[in-house]
Amino acid sequence: MLGNTLRRSITIVNPQGLHMRPITAFVEVAAKFKSRVSLCKQDQMPIDGKSPLGLLGLAAEEGAVLVLEVDGPDAEQAICALSEILEKPSFDD
From the CB of 6, what's the least distance to another protein, in Å? 25
**Angle (CA) 35 7 76, round 5°:** 50
Q: Is 56 a catalytic residue?
A: no
Piece in contact with another protein (CB under 8 A), picked from 1-9, 13-21, 36-44, 75-83 = 13-21
How many residues sit close enough to another protein to count as binding (CB under 8 A)?
23
Single out the residue of 58, 66, 70, 86 in contact with another protein (rule: CB under 8 A): 58
Single out the residue of 3, 17, 46, 73 in contact with another protein (rule: CB under 8 A): 17
**Angle (CA) 68 76 73, round 5°:** 105
Helix axes 20-30, 75-87, angle to 10 degrees: 170
Beta strand segments in the chain, E: 4-11, 36-41, 47-48, 65-72
Question: Which positions touch another protein (CB under 8 A)?
Answer: 15-21, 24-25, 27-28, 52-54, 56-62, 92-93
Kindly list the catalytic residues: 19
